[in-house]
Amino acid sequence: MEQPQQSAGPEAGKPPLRVGMVGYAFMGAAHSQGWRTAGRVFDLPRRPVLAALCGRDAVAVRAAADRHGWAATETDWRALVERDDVDLVDICTPGDSHAEIALAALAAGKHVLCEKPLANTVEEAETMARAAESAYAAGRLAMVGFNYRRVPATSLARQMVADGRLGTLRHVRVTYLQDWLVDPQFPLTWRLRRESAGSGSLGDLGAHIVDLAQHLAGERLAGVSALTETFVRQRPLPGGTTSGLAAGTGTVTGTGTVTVDDAALFTGRFASGALASFEATRYATGRKNALRLELNGERGSLAFDLERLNELWFHDATEPGAHAGFRRILVTEPDHPYLDAWWPPGHGLGYEHTFVHQARDLVHAIAAGHRPEPSFADGLQVQRVLAAVEESAEKNSVYTPIAD
């Protein structure tokens, strides 16, 4: 068995946390960046070691391992789970394999980080949450990867809401807009098949904004009312390798049916009575990764735009109206969340840093034996919201005519 390389640097000499990761495409690259960087930036109680990377294509996974700094490779996730030089299994695969890999890893005594959404069904998520609870009693932790919680600006927003800066929450609005499916000739990748992805924009984008809205509000949704739509129902079938399928490349070999939603619109009510609205779509032409939110309360409002992720906008309604208004908070100060270890004020961070922060938080939780956030129980709750959205959309599929 190949042994992981020991890295030098400020984290050297600390107890290792040996990571094995399943999946090496987009999310795998992002997670690799997080694990590789966290101990070099933050003073961690344990030293992340990139022990083994797993993927079905031996040549492709070895190339990815060399590119991102993984010491060893596997082509079967079961072999990775069984390795005695792996302490934590990081799952970056399509949703249809999350439950099987996570349950096996927890049973093998490993910590687990699983990408969102936690599973493809509520039943799978329930099983995973129960297993995580049992594993916690044995000292093994499980966390779901909602990385947008780790943007310093959203973390600051959470602090401000918790500190009562908005007062009683009245209204939350969240949108997550992308346009990568606008072209009807884009091929039928795994993300467009229910059996692999579970759902479409709802699970891919909607899971993020449901979690973020609930996290920032500090409370859960109590009910939803929804509409969903699939705009292009037949797409070209790509051929070629698994990596080619995921990237939308390969040779066209006919057409297939899209079995997930392209867009989801839904309203909700929090347990406190506050209202919420959500929009998730892959058909917002011109929008690449536009996640935006606003929280309105009796004493003020907060607004955030992922495309300007170092900024948080705050309106203090307790100020005199003559000079009140939204003001920009540049979230780069050393006393802002996560920023004590980064650059001088004014030097912004980016998307990839959320995965560094995710790794940091999980390493600290493991070292302290504390429940990580978001937990599998949190992931299960989001899964229940997504299921309620789908159920509501099915019931609302027939419109009530509006008379002239």
Element (H, E) at 312: strand 311-316
Q: What is the mean pLDDT of the chain?
A: 93
The amino acid sitting at 177 is L
Q: What is the pLDDT of residues 96-116, one digit of tens each?
A: 999 999 999 999 999 999 999
Average pLDDT over residues 64-84: 98
Contact 176, 208 (CB under 8 A): yes
Cα dihedral 17, 35, 89, 212, rounded to 10, equals 120
Dist. CA 99–CA 121, nearest whole Å = 10
Q: How far apart are the first and last CA of the chain?
A: 74
Res 243: pLDDT: 40
Average pLDDT over residues 233-250: 62
Res 244: pLDDT: 43
Contact 118, 132 (CB under 8 A): no
Q: In what order do the strands lie in the sheet with 111-115?
A: 72-74, 47-54, 16-22, 88-91, 111-115, 142-145
CA atoms within 13 A on the CB side of 399: 5
Q: What is the DSSP letter of 265?
A: E
Average pLDDT over residues 106-128: 97
Contact 340, 42 (CB under 8 A): no
Contacts for 229 with CB less than 8 Å, ≥ 6 apart: 261, 262, 263
Handedness of CA 177, 179, 180, 183 (dihedral sign): positive
Q: What is the pLDDT of residues 286-319, one digit of tens each?
A: 999 999 999 999 999 999 999 999 999 999 999 9
Q: What is the pLDDT of residues 134-164, one digit of tens each?
A: 999 999 999 999 999 999 999 999 999 999 9
Q: What is the pLDDT of residues 38-55, one digit of tens each?
A: 999 999 999 999 999 999
Residue 240 has pLDDT above 50, yes or no: no
Phi, psi (rounded to 5 degrees) for 40: -90, -15
Band of pLDDT at residue 11, cut at 50, 70 and 90: low
Contact 65, 73 (CB under 8 A): yes
Beta-strand runs (E) in 56-206: 72-74, 88-91, 111-115, 142-145, 169-177
Q: Which long-range contacts (CB under 8 A, 24 or more apart) does 98-101 make?
A: 98/124, 98/128, 99/124, 99/125, 99/127, 99/128, 101/22, 101/77
Cα dihedral 315, 316, 321, 324, rounded to 10, equals -50
Contact 34, 355 (CB under 8 A): yes
Please work out, in degrees rounded to the nearest 5, the angle formed at the alpha carbon of residue 8 by the alpha carbons of 5 and 14.
Answer: 90
Going along the chain from its start, the domains and CATH numbers come out as 16-147 (3.40.50.720), 152-308+310-349 (3.30.360.10)
- List C-alpha distances in Å: 68 to 35, 51, 73, 251, 299: 10, 11, 12, 28, 47
Handedness of CA 160, 165, 170, 171 (dihedral sign): negative
Q: Which residue has the higher pLDDT, 10 or 366?
A: 366
- Which tokens go with 346? 């004014």
- List C-alpha distances in Å: 184 to 108, 179, 227, 233: 44, 11, 22, 9
Average pLDDT over residues 116-129: 97
Dist. CA 202–CA 117, nearest whole Å = 10
3-state secondary structure of 126: helix
Q: What is the DSSP letter of 262?
A: S
Element (H, E) at 394: helix 376-395
Which pTM does this prediction carry?
Answer: 0.92
Res 9: pLDDT: 53
Determine if residue 96 is left, alpha or beta; phi over 0 gives left, psi from -120 to 50 gives alpha, anything else beta: alpha
> What is the b/e burial string over 306-338, where b = at least 16 CB atoms within 10 angstroms of the residue's CB?
beebbbbbbbeeeeeeeeeeeeebebbeeebbb
